[in-house]
């Protein structure tokens, strides 16, 4: 996983070798499986950890949390660095469940491209569309992968039409499958007419076997492979409709190149690795909070997009993930935190590969570095050297679920408080407090109820403090101010609490309750929060 230096060691020259991307999809579309297959085919691991069927699967490399292994889903984001054809791939796997949309949004703020994974049988699903809209809002180019082509599913042309109708993007298949869903024989390279025949290895724990035939050799297998004629005919139909890849429209967010794969058996994944190196954009100058781009060759700058503890049970440390935006990171360098104005030493830095870590000495724009025990850092913090810069803040989503939290054993109150503070710093949960309840009785606020399950699990397992959560009858929050807070707090069914960042939130039973108050008390400050 070490980065091989090139003759041009300038930040801009090294950035040209980087591709930083996230994988997004609906739960159970195969994100973590694709992540591991990419690692296997990039020769970062020797054997896949996935065994067919969730009841008998071993954990994938990127799913390290106990709850992830138990449920077979990703509930925390993971970062890893791969190399393919002298290109450095910074891959960010994201939580699949909608309850963790806020974590996914923060990850998307740190990438330059996205891989949108679609289940061949289910097509575009709600969470996929929600994340697609986030990518479009942030002008993130999208590569589409139709996954699980080794299982029965929809017809390829039907899926292409669905992508066009649901997203508004022009799908431009780069590869076209030979064989229907459930009978994946290989794929045609639409730009050249070349054919790749594929065969999974027994058990799917090793990379698939591939045979590449150029256009002149295709005729010799046509008689043995009747599915090839249909694939070529459909490819010609796509060409006639103008569905050929164009790099400019892809980068502009107008079109999306499409690939077919079966990640669990590693079919079509090597071609995706090539596509990421060829098509995904390298890092570009990132705009600061005022919209001015910070040039890649400017002095070092970065921002924190995730904080995670508990990844290494042996050390109980805390890792802050920072995306390098400009300059060169050197382990041990001292930088300035834009939020506090104080110096910050980055003495202990790692490249994270799931739970596995390697010490990193140097990193360039586009790289993601894990800073160990960075207790002074918060999500969204900007770090810089020499020339000050502040990057745009990362928004916090509007919570819809609220619960009072208490330790099950009052003798473990110290551990309980430390755990709640840690989970809040990581962005796992929002913590609200008020004088009426007492600062020792926090109200936890979540986008989705599964966040509460994560809190209970981690408080019990990591901090040895089992907790009791008492749901509150609120489902809506609005930002307010001190002038309005007293009047709101006196109303039936309304509670006003303060978030850790100082923002006052007014909680309401439901939308009708809020609308009634807004109609009769128009002088009150009630501002909508960012929707998940």
pLDDT tens digits for 151-175?
Answer: 999 999 999 999 999 999 999 999 9
- Would the pLDDT of 349 be above 80? yes
What is the C-alpha separation between 321 and 76, in angstroms, rounded?
A: 13
In Å, what is the CA distance from 326 to each residue of 21, 263, 285, 333, 342? Answer: 17, 34, 8, 14, 20
Q: Which of 89-93, 278-282, 461-465 has the highest mean pLDDT?
A: 278-282
- Would the pLDDT of 57 be above 80? no
Binding residues for GTP: 93-97
What is the C-alpha separation between 484 and 216, in angstroms, rounded?
A: 75
The radius of gyration computed from the CA coordinates of the chain, to the nearest angstrom, equals 25
pLDDT tens digits for 310-334?
Answer: 655 555 567 899 999 999 999 999 9
What is the C-alpha separation between 263 and 259, in angstroms, rounded?
A: 12
Residue 6 domain-assigned (yes or no) = no
> Nearest-CA neighbor of 166 among 124, 203, 195, 136?
124
- Identify each DSSP E strand in 361-519 by its residue range: 362-363, 368-372, 382-384, 401-407, 430-433, 443-446, 467-471, 476-480, 495-499, 504-508
Bridge partners (DSSP) listed for residue 259: 145
What is the C-alpha separation between 350 and 227, in angstroms, rounded?
A: 48
Same domain, 44 and 162: yes
pTM of the model: 0.86
Q: Among residues of the chain, what percentage have pLDDT more than 90?
A: 65
Residue 26 domain-assigned (yes or no) = yes
- Would the pLDDT of 9 be above 80? yes
In Å, what is the CA distance from 18 to each residue of 6, 82, 106, 284, 324? Answer: 12, 10, 20, 10, 11
What is the C-alpha separation between 416 and 465, in angstroms, rounded?
A: 6
- Would the pLDDT of 60 be above 70? no
Question: Which H or E run contains 353?
Answer: strand 349-353
- Would the pLDDT of 101 be above 50? yes
Same domain, 303 and 264: no
Q: State which residues form the domain around 223.
A: 21-74+95-278
Instruction: Report the residue count for the chain.
Output: 532
Same domain, 255 and 313: no
Structural domains in the chain (count): 3
CB within 8 Å of 527: residues ≥ 6 apart: 478, 479, 480
- Give the CATH number for residue 54: 3.40.50.300
Task: Give Cα 183 distance to the centre of its chain.
Answer: 31
What is the C-alpha separation between 201 and 386, in angstroms, rounded?
A: 53
Same domain, 294 and 350: yes
pLDDT of residue 56: 39
What is the C-alpha separation between 406 and 427, in angstroms, rounded?
A: 19
Bridge partners (DSSP) listed for residue 352: 357
pLDDT tens digits for 224-252?
Answer: 888 999 999 999 999 999 999 999 999 99
Same domain, 123 and 255: yes
Same domain, 337 and 198: no
Residue 372 domain-assigned (yes or no) = yes
Average pLDDT over residues 496-509: 94
Which tokens is 146 given? 């139709």
Same domain, 63 and 104: yes
> Nearest-CA neighbor of 48 among 266, 339, 254?
266
Residue 290 domain-assigned (yes or no) = yes
pLDDT band, very low/low/confident/very high, at 293 (cuts 50, 70, 90): very high
What is the C-alpha separation between 260 and 153, in angstroms, rounded?
A: 12
Contact between 244 and 234 (Cβ < 8 Å): no
Q: Among residues of the chain, what percentage have pLDDT more than 70?
A: 89
Same domain, 261 and 233: yes
- Give the CATH number for residue 433: 3.30.70.3280
CB atoms within 10 A of CB 289: 12
Burial class (CB in 10 A: 0-12, 13-18, 19+), 498: middle
Who wins on pLDDT, 295 or 72?
A: 295
Who wins on pLDDT, 102 or 4?
A: 102
Average pLDDT over residues 178-204: 92
- Would the pLDDT of 375 be above 50? yes
Contact between 182 and 262 (Cβ < 8 Å): no
Residue 526 domain-assigned (yes or no) = no
- Give the CATH number for residue 364: 2.40.30.10
Residue 88 domain-assigned (yes or no) = no
Which tokens is 419 given? 């755990």
pLDDT band, very low/low/confident/very high, at 354 (cuts 50, 70, 90): low
Who wins on pLDDT, 486 or 222?
A: 486
- Would the pLDDT of 49 be above 80? no
Of 278, 305, 333, which closes a domain? 278
CB within 8 Å of 205: residues ≥ 6 apart: 47, 48, 50
Same domain, 176 and 65: yes
Question: Which H or E run contains 488?
Answer: helix 482-489
What is the C-alpha separation between 104 and 27, in angstroms, rounded?
A: 12
Residue 180 domain-assigned (yes or no) = yes
Same domain, 219 and 259: yes
Mean pLDDT of the chain: 88
> How are strands ordered across the β-sheet holding 18-24?
78-84, 87-93, 18-24, 113-119, 142-147, 255-260, 170-173
Task: Work out whether the CA dihedral 509, 515, 521, 525 comes out positive or negative.
Answer: positive
Helix axes 126-137, 156-167, angle to 10 degrees: 50
Same domain, 264 and 302: no
> Nearest-CA neighbor of 421 among 385, 378, 384, 382?
378
Of 226, 254, 278, which closes a domain? 278
Same domain, 67 and 169: yes
pLDDT band, very low/low/confident/very high, at 7 (cuts 50, 70, 90): low
Residue 420 domain-assigned (yes or no) = yes
Average pLDDT over residues 410-439: 91
- DSSP tag of 527: B
SS3 content of the chain, % helix, strand, coil (to 5): 30, 30, 45
- DSSP tag of 267: B
CB within 8 Å of 241: residues ≥ 6 apart: none
- Would the pLDDT of 78 be above 80? no
Contact between 189 and 178 (Cβ < 8 Å): no
Of 322, 355, 384, which closes a domain? 384
């Amino acid at each position: 996983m070490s980065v091989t230096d090139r003759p041009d060691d300038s930040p801009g020259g090294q950035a040209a070798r980087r591709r930083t991307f996230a994988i997004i999809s609906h739960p159970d579309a195969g994100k973590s499986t694709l992540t591991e297959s990419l690692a296997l085919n990039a020769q970062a691991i020797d054997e896949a950890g996935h065994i067919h069927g969730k009841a008998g699967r071993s954990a994938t490399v990127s799913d390290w949390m106990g709850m992830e292994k138990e449920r077979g889903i990703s509930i925390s984001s993971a970062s890893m660095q791969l190399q393919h054809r002298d290109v450095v791939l910074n891959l960010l796997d994201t939580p699949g469940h909608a309850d963790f949309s806020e974590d996914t949004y923060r990850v998307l703020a740190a990438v330059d491209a996205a891989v949108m994974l679609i289940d061949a049988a289910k097509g575009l699903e709600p969470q996929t569309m929600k994340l697609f809209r986030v990518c479009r809002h942030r002008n993130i180019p999208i590569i589409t992968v139709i996954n699980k082509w080794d299982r029965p599913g929809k017809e390829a042309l039907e899926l292409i039409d669905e992508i066009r109708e649901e997203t508004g993007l022009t799908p431009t298949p780069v590869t076209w499958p030979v064989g229907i869903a459930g009978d994946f024989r290989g794929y045609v390279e639409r730009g050249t007419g070349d054919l790749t025949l594929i065969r999974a290895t027994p058990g799917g724990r090793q990379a698939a076997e591939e045979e590449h035939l150029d256009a002149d050799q295709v005729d010799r297998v046509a008689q043995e492979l009747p599915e090839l004629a249909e694939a070529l005919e459909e490819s010609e139909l796509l060409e006639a409709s103008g569905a050929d890849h164009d790099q400019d429209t892809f980068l502009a967010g107008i079109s999306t190149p499409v690939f077919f794969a079966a990640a669990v058996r590693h079919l079509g994944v090597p071609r995706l690795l090539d596509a990421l190196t060829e098509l995904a954009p390298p890092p570009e100058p990132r705009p600061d909070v005022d919209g001015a781009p910070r040039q890649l060759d400017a002095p070092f700058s970065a921002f924190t997009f995730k904080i995670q503890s508990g990844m290494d049970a042996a050390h109980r440390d805390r890792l802050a993930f920072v995306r390098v935006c400009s300059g060169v990171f050197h382990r041990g360098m001292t930088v300035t935190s834009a939020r506090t104005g104080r110096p910050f030493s980055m003495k202990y830095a790692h490249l994270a590969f799931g739970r596995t870590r390697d010490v990193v000495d140097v990193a360039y724009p586009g790289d993601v570095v894990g800073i160990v025990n960075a207790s002074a850092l918060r999500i969204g913090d900007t770090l810089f050297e020499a020339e000050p810069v502040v990057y745009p803040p990362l928004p916090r989503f509007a919570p819809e679920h609220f619960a009072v939290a208490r330790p099950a054993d009052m003798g473990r109150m110290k551990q309980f408080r430390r755990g709640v503070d840690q989970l809040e710093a990581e962005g796992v949960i929002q913590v609200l407090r008020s004088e009426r309840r007492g600062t020792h009785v926090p109200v936890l606020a979540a986008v989705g109820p599964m966040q509460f399950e994560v809190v209970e699990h981690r408080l019990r397992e990591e901090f040895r403090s089992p907790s009791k959560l008492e749901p509150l009858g609120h489902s809506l929050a609005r930002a307010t101010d001190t002038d309005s807070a007293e009047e709101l707090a006196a109303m039936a069914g309304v509670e006003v609490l303060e978030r850790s960042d100082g923002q006052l939130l007014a909680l309401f039973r439901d939308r009708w309750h809020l609308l009634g108050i807004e109609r009769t008390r128009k002088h009150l400050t009630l501002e909508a929060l960012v929707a998940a």
